[in-house]
Structure 1
């Protein structure tokens, strides 16, 4: 029971921090200026980790590599706390599990953004956050929109993107069956 409680707390905190760090990286990668409330939340929650990491890993090519490294370190720490403390594993397996969790967080983040964009398009396409979310998902959906025609004025590219991300998740999670 203690293990499940610790796992719940660690995965919740690590997941939230990882989402913020990955969002920070993605916003800079796609050159999207966030609304003030999103920017304030993102930077306040992640500056304590990103600023020291920037001394080690500076931004190169216009990318915030410190945010990406921070998310990877959070994944490593969460794997160490949730598995190694209760079931000591070899270091190589810990690193592989951390990399797997990191990639899963990336895919889940993309899926979450696509779902939020779809909800905005159905419920309130003129919501204040709708253009921001649309700009974040555009690099993912643009290649699919070039290939998929509108069917009855309905864009199926988000559905196809979600299916492709699910397939990728299953393939990657299949690397370590039973451990993901």
Structure 2
């Protein structure tokens, strides 16, 4: 019971920290400026790891320090959870961390799609709506070229949700099929 509570706490903290670092990376990729409150939250919660990593990985077009920081958080969470067990296989831990890292990337995209859908239903003019829309647009644009709106309803977010779920399953199968 204590192990499951510990696992829940580690996963919650790690998913928030890694999610914020992944959001920081994606904001730079799509070149979207966050609202001030979101920006302050993201930068204050991630600077403790991103700034030291920037000494190792200098900035460029992309914020690789944020991406590496997210992976380090994922790896450390897996080590903390599985490190309590007796057999410590680093190859297995690395594979689990890679899978979890990819899952969290896909789940982050799924979350922004769901948030955008809720905004479109509840309040399309909400202050965060343009920000969330800008985060999703690079992923939805190619699908919107292929899938026309049906009866004025854009189905591309639903298709992207399904594709992201397929990607998670395929990557998981490939990673653990190699073990």
Same fold (TM over 0.5): yes
Deviation readout 1:130-153 (Å, 9 max, x if unpaired): 000000000010000000011001
Secondary structure, aligned partner of 2:154: coil
For 2:45 and 2:87, the matched residues in 1 are separated by 31
Return the offset for 1:89: 2.9
Return the offset for 1:20: 0.2
Return the offset for 1:90: 1.2
Instruction: Tell me which residue corresponds to 1:165.
Output: 164
Comparing 108-117 and 78-87, the one that deviates more = 78-87
RMSD: 1.3
Instruction: Tell me which residue corresponds to 2:66.
Output: 67
* 1:3/1:86 contact within 8 Å kept: no
Instruction: Tell me which residue corresponds to 1:54.
Output: 54
For 2:97 and 2:83, the matched residues in 1 are separated by 12
- The gaps in structure 2 that reach 5 residues or longer are none
Instruction: Tell me which residue corresponds to 1:106.
Output: 105
Instruction: Tell me which residue corresponds to 1:24.
Output: 24
* 1:30/1:139 contact within 8 Å kept: yes
Question: Which residues of 2 match residues 10-159 of structure 1 at below 5 A?
Answer: 10-60=10-60, 62-159=61-158
TM normalised by structure 2 equals 0.96
For 1:79 and 1:4, the matched residues in 2 are separated by 13
Distance 1:87 1:161, change over 3 A: farther
Instruction: Tell me which residue corresponds to 2:8.
Output: 8
For 2:86 and 2:129, the matched residues in 1 are separated by 44
- The gaps in structure 1 that reach 5 residues or longer are none
For 1:87 and 1:115, the matched residues in 2 are separated by 40
Structure 1 runs of 4+ aligned residues shifted over 3 Å read: none
Return the offset for 1:176: 2.6
